[in-house]
């Protein structure tokens, strides 16, 4: 039986709810673990990325990012502009999210008196379809041991968004991985936070499973070779 794998954060793309990545991009991405092999950064660019990631000001972050992209384009004339923009924006977004995640979790521990467990463990969820086995892997931001809930942290760049449809899917997958029925999503914009509670939605989860089945069928038909 053929085995396929996708990350929990890509499930919404795989089933067509969000469109950050196509089915083909999700499948082919695992063939190359380095998403940006054509981009080499120097110490100056690395320092500016760190500065943009660490500043609490969104405006300052955006300003550094804009300057950094222009500088990187000049230093790497052989690399397409959109590739450089994607690399810089994604790197800053990921780094910024990780920094804020740690701060927010520590604040929740202190202000809400919550026992929040964090680790770097990779959790899995397995599906057996006719065409192939599908394994989904993902890391949670935290586990609220006090209330027995998943804790997910999101850093917003432009405004508060609530729980997006693709984030609901991510929460459903995480809850299923840990056999839990409730989750909390904390979003931070600038220096403010909003807390949203979420409960397992059986109807949505059934749609996720059907969408994953369609994804597996698509991949197996288009890429018939064994992984």
14 pLDDT tier (thresholds 50, 70, 90) = very high
For residue 32, the model assigns a pLDDT of: 52
Phi-psi region of 179 (alpha: psi -120 to 50; beta: other; left: phi over 0): left
Q: What is the pLDDT of residue 36?
A: 65
Distance CA 158, CA 121 (A): 30
Question: At the topology level of CATH, where does 2-222 sit?
Answer: Lambda Exonuclease; Chain A (3.90.320)
Q: What pLDDT is recorded for position 227?
A: 58
The pTM score is 0.82
Distance (Å, rounded) from C-alpha 224 to C-alpha 227? 9
**Residue 135 pLDDT level (bands cut at 50, 70, 90):** very high
158 — phi, psi (to 5°)? Answer: -120, -40
> How far is 186 from 153, CA to CA, in rounded Å?
5
Instruction: Render pLDDT for 164-202 as a digit per residue (tens, 0 to 9).
Output: 999 999 999 999 999 999 999 999 988 899 999 999 999
Q: pLDDT at position 200, please? A: 98
> What integer pLDDT is reported at residue 38 of this predicted model?
60
State yes or no: pLDDT of 33 exceeds 60: no
Structure tokens at 79: 């690399």
Domain residue ranges of the chain, discontinuous segments joined by +: 2-222
């Amino acid at each position: 039986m053929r085995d396929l794998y996708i990350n929990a954060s890509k499930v919404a793309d795989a089933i067509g709810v969000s469109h950050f990545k196509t089915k083909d991009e999700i499948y082919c991405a695992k063939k190359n673990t380095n998403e940006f092999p054509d981009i080499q950064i120097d110490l100056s660019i690395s320092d500016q990325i760190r500065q943009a990631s660490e500043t609490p000001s969104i405006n300052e972050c955006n300003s550094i990012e804009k300057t950094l992209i222009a500088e990187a384009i000049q230093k790497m004339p052989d690399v397409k502009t959109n590739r450089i923009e994607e690399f810089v924006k994604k790197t800053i977004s990921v780094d910024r999210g990780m920094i804020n995640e740690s701060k927010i979790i520590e604040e929740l521990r202190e202000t809400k008196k919550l026992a929040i467990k964090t680790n770097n463990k990779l959790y899995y969820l397995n599906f057996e379809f006719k065409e192939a086995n599908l394994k989904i892997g993902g890391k949670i931001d935290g586990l609220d041991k006090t209330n027995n809930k998943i804790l997910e942290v999101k850093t917003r760049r432009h405004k508060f968004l609530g729980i997006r449809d693709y984030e609901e899917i991510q929460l459903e997958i995480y809850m299923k991985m840990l056999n839990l029925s409730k989750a909390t999503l904390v979003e931070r914009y600038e220096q403010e936070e909003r807390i949203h509670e979420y409960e397992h939605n059986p109807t949505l989860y059934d749609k996720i499973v059907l969408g994953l089945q369609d994804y597996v069928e698509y991949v197996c038909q288009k890429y018939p070779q064994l992984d």
